[in-house]
């Protein structure tokens, strides 16, 4: 049996945030692929120079989420997360912030004055319909760098498990994998993976082939289930990668702006509740910016369709 080739998803540039948008490179959702496991959103940004007064940095005013978890992971810089549950969570390189919205949350994300270069990823995980109205949650984890070979290649597993490498203590609502891989120059790694999972490899810097396919920078190489190993080969400058995986997510979920829900009506209701600043999303204490909160864009004239359709008219805020 021959497995299908690696699916390469090219990134697209998207402005992020409100008044002073920074540009990110987005690969999920993608017209050709809405999800990889329960991972439903992948943004890669930087390295961006950040000047005095956070010029060129991240400043995303309070905005809502429903039905998902967000992962913040940095290569350089520092971001301060504040949310309506009262969490003030800085995140630095090698540390993970995992926020779960439950039924509803709002948060802000601002690069701090310690930041001169901002460089990282933001990832979202869809919750199953059974879990989406649960409580809010926040977890922070700093994984160890575990060796992958004798030449200095390492893995930092922030979510899930890489067999014989490391396992993260972070709890998730569905089986997932998330890790940073740093491959030494010329490294050739045969990585043991869960054959039930779909996988995606994001190239941050350097050069790499996945199962023989070269990845573009900030692009994703996606692999269907059925593989017990992933073969990675770094170029002469080495490679920094993010590896994602998860069981195929079979439920139909609608994703629009920053909301995930089961039906068009649920999304409309969440939007109206946010616009009216209702208690469902709470209040983010201590955010100071040019706007107090990010209003939702208008709903499209057509009914929202489930996850198989990408809706470019309402790009997520972050």
Shortest CB 53 distance to Mn ion, Å: 22
Instruction: Give, in degrees to the nearest 5, the angle at Cα 126 between 291 and 227.
Output: 135
Shortest CB 61 distance to Mn ion, Å: 10
* Separation CA 251–CA 272 (nearest Å): 25
Instruction: Give, in degrees to the nearest 5, the angle at Cα 16 between 12 and 20.
Output: 130
Q: Tell me if 65 sits within 8 A of 148, measured CB to CB.
A: no
Shortest CB 294 distance to Mn ion, Å: 9
Q: How many residues bind Mn ion (CB under 5 A)?
A: 1
The reply on whether position 108 binds Mn ion by CB under 5 A is no
- List of residues 6+ apart from 29 with CB closer than 8 A: 35, 40, 41, 255, 307, 310
Q: How many residues does the chain have?
A: 318
The reply on whether position 122 binds Mn ion by CB under 5 A is no
Give the range of 45-53, 130-138, 281-289, 310-318 binding Mn ion by CB under 5 A.
310-318
The reply on whether position 101 binds Mn ion by CB under 5 A is no
Task: Give the residue with the Cβ less far from Mn ion, 240 or 277.
Answer: 277
**What single string gives the DSSP state of each residue in 292-316?**
SS-PPPPPPSSPP--TTS--TTS--
Shortest CB 213 distance to Mn ion, Å: 31
Q: By Cβ distance, which residue is nearest to Mn ion?
A: 318
Region 280-299 residues binding Mn ion, contact defined as CB under 5 A: none
Task: Give the residue with the Cβ less far from Mn ion, 110 or 176.
Answer: 110
The reply on whether position 106 binds Mn ion by CB under 5 A is no
* Separation CA 115–CA 51 (nearest Å): 8
Task: Give the residue with the Cβ less far from Mn ion, 153 or 318.
Answer: 318
The reply on whether position 72 binds Mn ion by CB under 5 A is no
Q: Tell me if 99 sits within 8 A of 81, measured CB to CB.
A: yes
Tokens (6 digits) for 271: 């939007």
The reply on whether position 318 binds Mn ion by CB under 5 A is yes
Binding site for Mn ion (CB under 5 A): 318
């Amino acid at each position: 049996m021959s497995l299908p080739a690696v699916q390469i998803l090219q990134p697209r540039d998207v402005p992020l945030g409100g008044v002073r948008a920074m540009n990110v490179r987005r690969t999920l959702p993608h017209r050709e692929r809405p999800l990889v496991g329960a991972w439903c959103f992948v943004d890669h940004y930087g390295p961006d120079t950040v000047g005095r007064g956070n010029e060129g940095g991240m400043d995303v005013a309070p905005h809502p989420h429903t039905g998902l978890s967000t992962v913040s992971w940095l290569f350089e810089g520092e971001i301060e997360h504040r949310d309506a549950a009262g969490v003030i969570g800085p995140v630095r390189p090698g540390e993970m912030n995992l926020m779960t919205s439950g039924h509803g949350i709002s948060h802000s994300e601002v690069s701090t004055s310690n930041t001169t270069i901002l460089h990282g990823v933001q990832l979202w995980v869809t919750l199953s319909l059974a879990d989406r109205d649960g409580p809010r949650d926040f977890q922070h984890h700093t994984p160890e760098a575990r060796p992958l070979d004798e030449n200095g290649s390492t893995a930092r597993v922030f979510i899930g498990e890489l067999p014989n490498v490391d396992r993260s203590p972070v709890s998730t609502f569905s089986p997932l994998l998330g890790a940073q891989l740093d491959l030494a120059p010329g490294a050739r790694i045969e990585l043991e993976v869960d054959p039930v999972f779909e996988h995606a490899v994001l190239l941050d810097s350097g050069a790499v082939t996945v199962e023989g396919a070269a990845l573009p920078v900030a692009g994703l190489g996606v692999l269907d289930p059925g593989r017990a190993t992933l073969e990675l080969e770094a170029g002469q400058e080495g490679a920094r990668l993010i590896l994602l995986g998860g069981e195929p997510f079979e439920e139909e979920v609608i994703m629009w702006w920053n909301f995930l829900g089961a039906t068009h009506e649920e999304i409309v209701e969440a939007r109206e509740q946010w616009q009216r600043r209702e208690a469902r999303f709470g209040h983010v204490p201590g955010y100071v910016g040019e706007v107090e909160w990010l209003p939702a864009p208008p709903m499209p004239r057509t009914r929202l369709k489930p996850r198989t359709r990408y809706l470019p008219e309402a790009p997520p805020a972050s």
